[in-house]
Amino acid sequence: MSDILSSTFVLAVQDLELSRKFYMDKLGFQEDMNVDGWCFLSRGACKLRIGHCPDALPMTKSPDHSWFAYLHVHDAKDMYNKILANQVEIWHPLADKPWGMREFAIVTPDGHRIVFGEELD
């Protein structure tokens, strides 16, 4: 079986420009491409394709299934502080978990949730 070389998350968003600015200005993503109805973004190994879907059910209507990513980072505390400074909505504050991870979670403008985690020594 072939190896998986990388991954890209594909998300429906109601306001493409609002989401584009959120990921770039608040989370530090860069824009790789912008085509009609789509924006391709990346930060390090994480790639996103956000698609304009104005009639999509917002993730806030489905809170139990709104996680889309667990992103592994080198310094969760530093990232958490920068995200707080950017006034991003926090879903779970930074905490050391019993499964050996220091993690926190955020909420995007469309209600998607992202968890950031750092492996504890």
Superfamily of domain 7-119: 2,3-Dihydroxybiphenyl 1,2-Dioxygenase, domain 1 (3.10.180.10)
Burial of 108: CB neighbours in 10 Å, binned 0-12, 13-18, 19+: buried
Q: What is the pLDDT along the chain (121 residues), one digit of tens a residue?
A: 888 888 899 999 999 999 999 999 999 999 999 999 999 999 999 999 999 999 988 777 776 777 889 999 999 999 999 999 999 999 999 999 999 999 999 999 988 999 999 999 8
Distance CA 48, CA 107 (A): 15
CA atoms in the 13 A half-sphere facing the CB of 9: 20
Rounded Cα distance, 113 and 77, in Å: 18
Cβ(104)–Cβ(120) below 8 Å: no
Q: Please state, in angstroms and rounded to a whole number, the distance separating the CA atoms of residues 57 and 12.
A: 9
> Both tokens of residue 86?
């950017």
| The two three-digit tokens of residue 117, written as one number | 């985690």
